[in-house]
Structure 1
Amino acid sequence: MQTDVVVIGAGQAGLSAAYELRRAGADFVVLDADAGPGGAWQHRWPSLRLDRAHRIAPLPGMDLPAADPATPASEVVSEYFAEYERHFDLPVRRPVRVRAVHRDDDGFVLDTSEGEWTARGLVSATGTWTRPFWPAYPGRELFRGRQLHAADYRGAEEFRGQSVVVVGGGTSAVQQLIEISEVADTTWVTRRPPVWRTEQFDEDAGRAAVALVERRVRAGLPPGSVVSVTGLMETDEVRAARARGVLARLPVSDRLTADGVVWDDPALEVRADAVLWATGFRAALDHLAPLHLRAPGGGIAVDGTRVVAEPQLHLVGYGPSASTIGANRAGRSAVRELLRTLESQAAA
């Protein structure tokens, strides 16, 4: 199967790129590994209500629908994405998993679960959800309780009456910690002391955060975590949890034992029934491994969205475009630059 441009992934970034390709009248297809629409949002835990979710930005050309704030965000966004695909008649094929991307004389050859695709241009919008990060940790194999990643969290009720250690300093860690603390005894462990923001994240702060990430990816370094740049928003829910003592964090423990977590300080030891690793995600880019794009710093050098070593390849939803708003902008700029590149090569 052949097309001019393949978009890999139908989340916020992939659909934004598809919208721009449709407007440009391009020959393209979107290959999405999920069984249904919604991108990563369809996998969010059911108790994440719409009014507790943040950074949900509308896709280009269609506003988010009005919905009950108590509705699970996963339902609202999945239905919205599905309607978006229908409304703009986007050629999304699913479930199609892209296993590997190879270079050929004209562009790329994609090895997928439904056969081989060839394309002159490629937009990779695979996000991070499929690559949860599990840190190396002494004693993890000894712990007799339950260990799960934040990606597998489905709600607090399954932890009722237990002692739960939540590891991680990001927004998901805080949200899940607060939920679990209402039905269980919780301990919060983070690598660094959390930095709380009391003011809104305005445009100036946003530009400064994006600039920091852009410098990293331009240098071929991994993007780093979002919260390390933005900090954590102090909401009414956070203030209430702090008043209950829920947000009294401890530094990262030194090891796990069969029954919990311990520190070298003999005064610190926590028995645990479960450890929730809310330790973030890494960019899902294994399908690009045959192109040998990794820089010495461990990341992929990107200028804007264009991969420096492959001008016919753009990464959206990566680095500075990892937010929903950033993904929209990235989809637009990536498609415009990619189509100019393909046009100039065809004319040469």
Structure 2
Amino acid sequence: MSETPRHEVIVIGGGQAGLAAGYFLRRAGVDFMILDERQRGGGSWQHMWPSLRLFSPAQHNSLPGWGMPPQPGAEFPTVDHAVEYLRAYEHRYELPVRRPVRVDGIRRTNGEFVVTTDVGTWTSRGVISATGTWRAPYVPAYPGMADFTGPQWHTASYPGPEPFRGQRVMVVGGGNSAAQILAELSTVAETTWVTRRHPRFMPDEVDGRVLFDVATRRLSGATNGVSELGDIVMVDSVRKARERGVLRALPMFDGLTRHGAAWADGTEREFDSVVWCTGFRPALRQLRPLRLSRRQGRIPTEGTRSLEQPRMHLVGYGDWTGAASATLIGVGRTARTAVAELIAELGREGPEHSGGRTQTPLDTVRRSMANRS
């Protein structure tokens, strides 16, 4: 680029969180740009394993403004359907996404953010970080991990069942991803399931909407966020695995060995591969130049707002930045609040910092957004 483009707001990440933020920025009339490092739209969904199913029907997996269309013949939408929806959403609202752009770092200079990338530099008065967690898979440390001779996979790299055909596979983790991967692998391999606590299955007639409702009640302080109905949604593949008797979980092992795992009671089992379904951490590499405080991978925030960097918000990283904000249906709520607060923060600095434009106070912006819903 021959010159440094400047926008009021830069959004880092063009997945579901970035698109939700873009939707509200567009409605508010803010000059913004979304920078996304992927070749095509669709966020992290396009990198997930092909058989993954969403945990609730299409209408309960919608971004603000436009609901996800039902998928013919599928109660729970597939990954491909989610990808198509995100790409169509981006086109529908004509969101300004520049890709592929890898953000190398964000700095603060003379009151503005300087966003350096592999294709040039952008500046802005505000930043919304919406990079999610997919690029930061988490694997807990256990003794013997370096000694195990077989391959170790993570949910983020799981390729589907074929590479495991005929193997003995240990699946580690007690969530929905672990249950779905275990169910699939059990059709081609000898599987062992290991969890830190006993898996909690939801009733067959209940789906992932309950998990979202729990998060909503927790946001209001009405509950501690633990669903009495369970955590794992009984999608079709998991129900079939239950019928085959493969949903029996062992307690967590003490450590890995060269050819398997060992438990405290002296039990040892041999495995050819291990699949870690142990979650993710916030992908915040781009924020390192700002030298923000961190604790367990998180930076200090109040809601979505960084406490150490005025005019920077974080959207879509899970309950840390808003209850259920890492879900399609939940991210809209936190994106809406983040955009309204950011616009108010920009406005409080006065028109001399905003190219002569008068910004809208927070309450007015919120009323404006509500009127356009």
Which amino acid counterpart does residue 23 of structure 1 have in structure 2?
R
| Structure 1 residue 211: Cα displacement | 6.1
Task: Indicate if the aligned counterparts of 2:63 and 2:331 stay in contact, CA closer than 8 A.
Answer: no
Kindly indicate whether residue 269 of structure 2 is the aligned counterpart of residue 270 of structure 1: yes
Quote the Cα distance in structure 2 between the aligned partners of 1:203 and 1:259: 40
Q: Relative to structure 1, is the Cα distance of residues 317 and 209 closer, same or farther in structure 2, using a 3 angstrom cutoff?
A: same
Which digits, 9 at most, give the CA deviation of each residue in 1:129-167, with x for residues without a partner? 001112222112222222111111121222121110001
- Count of residue correspondences: 337
Distance 1:317 1:50, change over 3 A: closer
The amino acid of 1:311's aligned partner reads P
**Alignment partner of 1:118 out of 123, 143, 149:** 123
Which residue of 2 is the match for residue 308 of structure 1?
A: 307
Q: Is the 8 A contact 1:161 1:185 kept in 2?
A: yes
Is 2:176–2:232's contact at 8 Å kept on the other side of the alignment?
yes
Mapping of residues 208-287 of structure 1, within 5 Å: 208-210=217-219, 231-235=231-235, 237-266=237-266, 268-287=267-286
Q: What is the match of residue 215 of structure 2?
A: 206
Is 1:122–1:314's contact at 8 Å kept on the other side of the alignment? yes
CA distances 1:12-61 after superposition (whole Å, capped 9, x unpaired): 11101101111111111000011110011111111224688889621222
User: In structure 1, what is the Cα distance between the partners aligned to 2:140 and 2:292?
Assistant: 24
Q: Does 1:2 align with 2:1?
A: no
User: What letter matches 1:11 in structure 2?
Assistant: G
- 1:63-83: CA deviations, max 9, x gaps? 213323459723222222222
Q: Does structure 2 retain, via aligned residues, the 8 Å contact 1:170–1:227?
A: no
Which residue identity is paired with 1:251? Answer: P
1:114 Cα deviation (Å)?
A: 1.2
Q: Which runs of 5+ in 1 are unaligned?
A: 216-224
Which stretch has the larger CA shift, 120-129 or 76-85?
76-85
Stretch deviating more after TM superposition (179-188 or 239-248): 239-248
**Mapped partners of 1:273, 1:226: distance in 2:** 35
Match of 1:7, SS state, is strand
For 2:72, give the aligned amino acid. Answer: D
Secondary structure of the 2:310 match is strand
Q: Which residue of 1 aligns with 2:371?
A: none
Q: Does 1:168 align with 2:173?
A: yes
Within the alignment, does 1:86 sit opposite 2:86 as a pair? no
More off after superposition, 141-150 vs 53-62: 53-62
C-alpha distance 278-339 of structure 1, shift in aligned 2 (>3 A) = same
CA contact (8 A) 2:184 2:237 kept: no
1:220 matched residue in structure 2: none
**1:219 corresponding residue in structure 2:** none
* CA distance in 2: counterparts of 1:229 and 1:134, whole angstroms: 27
Q: 1:211 to 1:144 in 2, by over 3 A?
A: farther
Where does structure 2 lack aligned partners over 5 or more consecutive residues? 353-373
- Farther off after superposition, 320-329 or 61-70: 61-70
Cα distance, 1:53–1:285 mapped onto 2, change above 3 Å: farther
* Counterpart amino acid of residue 290 in structure 1: P
Tell me the CA shift for residue 230 of structure 1: 7.0
Q: Distance in 2 between matches of 1:202 and 1:287?
A: 31
The answer to whether the Cα contact below 8 Å between 1:6 and 1:121 also exists between their aligned partners in 2 is: yes
Determine if contact 2:201/2:230 at 8 Å carries over to the other structure.
no
Alpha-carbon contact 2:212-2:330 (below 8 Å) kept: no
Identical positions, percent: 48
Distance 2:89 2:234 in 1: 33
Partners of 2:9 and 2:126 within 8 A in 1: yes
What secondary structure does 2:9 align onto?
Answer: strand
Residue equivalent to 1:179:
184
Match of 2:298 in 1: 299
- Indicate whether 1:149 and 2:148 are aligned: no
Using the TM superposition, give the Cα deviation of residue 294 of structure 1 relative to its aligned residue in structure 2, in angstroms. 2.3
The answer as to whether partners of 2:58 and 2:70 remain within 8 angstroms in 1 is no
Q: Distance in 2 between matches of 1:26 and 1:249?
A: 51
> Which residue of structure 1 aligns with residue 42 of structure 2?
38
Aligned-pair CA distance for 1:107: 2.3
1:241-291 Cα distance to aligned partner (Å, 9 max, x none): 23433121112211212211111322x221111101111110101211222
| Aligned match of 2:132 | 127
Q: Secondary structure at the match of 2:344?
A: helix
Q: Secondary structure of 1:343's partner?
A: helix
| Aligned mates of 1:68, 1:257 — CA distance in 2 | 46
Return the match for 1:107 from 104, 112, 127. 112
- Matching residue within 320, 328, 331 for 2:332: 328
More displaced 10-residue stretch of structure 1: 189-198 or 229-238: 229-238
- State the 1:227 CA deviation: 9.6
The secondary structure found in structure 2 opposite 1:310 is coil
Give the SS at the match of 2:349.
Answer: helix
State the distance in 2 between where 1:28 and 1:229 align. Answer: 42
Q: Paired residue for 2:16?
A: 12
TM-score, with length taken from structure 1: 0.87
Deviation at 1:236, TM superposition (A): 5.8
Match of 2:184, as an amino acid? E
Asked if the contact 1:255/1:261 (under 8 Å) is kept, the reply is yes
Task: Give 3-state SS (helix, strand or coil) of 2:329's partner.
Answer: helix
Q: Which has the higher contact order (CA 8 A, sep 6+)?
A: 1
Post-superposition Cα deviations, 1:87-134, rounded to whole Å, max 9, x if no partner, equal 211110111111111112222111111111111000000000001112
